[in-house]
Amino acid sequence: MPGGMVGGHKFTDINDYNAALEDTRLINRLRAQVDMNNPASVRKLYASMQSGEVRFRTVVGRDFDDELYDLIQEMEKNGGKLPGNEPSEKPKREKPVKRKKTAKTAKAPRPSKTSKRGVSKAGKETDSLRDTELTKEEKIRRAQRAIRETETANITVRDKNAGRYLQATTDSTDKDLDAAAAEIIRKSNLRNRIISISAGIVAAASLIIFIIYSKSAYENQQAMDALASLKGTEPVTSDIEQKPLFTLAEEDEIPDILDEYKNVYIKNKSVIGWITIDGTNIDYPVMQTVNNEYYLNHNFDGKEDNNGSIFMDCNCNAMFRSTNLIIYGHHMKSGKMFGNLKKYESEDYCKEHNLIKFDTIYEKGLYEVMYVFRDTIKDAGNVGFKYYQFIDAASEEEFDSNMNAMAEMSLYDTGVTAKYGDQLLTLSTCNGSTSTARFVVVAKRIPNDQVTYVYGDSDKDREE
Domains along the chain with CATH numbers: 4-80 (no CATH), 246-450 (2.40.260.10)
Residue type, 158: R
User: Where are any strands of DSSP class E within 291-344?
Assistant: 310-312, 324-328
Q: How many CB atoms lie within 10 A of CB 94?
A: 6
Write the Ramachandran bin of 335: left for phi over 0, alpha for psi from -120 to 50, otherwise beta.
left
SS3 12: coil
SS3 357: strand
The per-residue pLDDT for 204 is 74
The per-residue pLDDT for 174 is 55
The per-residue pLDDT for 241 is 64
DSSP code for 342: G
- Give yes or no for a contact between 184 and 143, defined as CB atoms under 8 angstroms apart: yes
The per-residue pLDDT for 8 is 80
HSE-CB of 342 using CA atoms within 13 angstroms: 17
The distance between the two most distant Cα atoms of the chain, rounded to a whole number of Å, is: 129
Residue type, 185: I
pTM over 0.75: no
- Give yes or no for a contact between 444 and 416, defined as CB atoms under 8 angstroms apart: yes
- Give yes or no for a contact between 167 and 200, defined as CB atoms under 8 angstroms apart: no
> To which H or E segment does residue 346 belong?
none
How many angstroms separate the CA atoms of 221 and 336, rounded?
Answer: 10
How many angstroms separate the CA atoms of 44 and 30, rounded?
Answer: 12
Residue type, 320: F
- Give yes or no for a contact between 131 and 124, defined as CB atoms under 8 angstroms apart: no
Residue type, 244: P
**Of the candidates 440, 394, 398, 399, the residue with the CA atom closest to the CA atom of residue 417:** 399
The per-residue pLDDT for 69 is 84
| R_g of the chain, CA atoms, integer Å | 37
The per-residue pLDDT for 75 is 81
- Give yes or no for a contact between 331 and 342, defined as CB atoms under 8 angstroms apart: yes
- Give yes or no for a contact between 316 and 273, defined as CB atoms under 8 angstroms apart: no
How many angstroms separate the CA atoms of 80 and 158, rounded?
Answer: 68
DSSP code for 331: B
According to DSSP, the β-strands at 310-312 and 324-328 are antiparallel
- Give yes or no for a contact between 356 and 443, defined as CB atoms under 8 angstroms apart: yes
Q: Which residues does the chain have with pLDDT short of 50?
A: 1, 88, 90-91, 101-108, 111-122, 124-126, 128-133, 151-170, 249, 453-464
User: Where are any strands of DSSP class E within 281-350?
Assistant: 283-287, 310-312, 324-328
**Of the candidates 231, 241, 325, the residue with the CA atom closest to the CA atom of residue 283:** 231
CB-based contacts of 337: which residues, under 8 Å, 6+ apart?
Answer: 284, 307, 308, 309, 310, 329, 330, 331, 429
The per-residue pLDDT for 170 is 46
Give the phi and the psi of residue 226 in degrees, each rounded to 5: -65, -40
Tell me the H-state helices in 316-458.
347-352, 396-409
Residue 154 burial (10 A CB sphere; 0-12, 13-18, 19+): exposed
The per-residue pLDDT for 403 is 97
The per-residue pLDDT for 134 is 52
Average pLDDT in the chain: 77
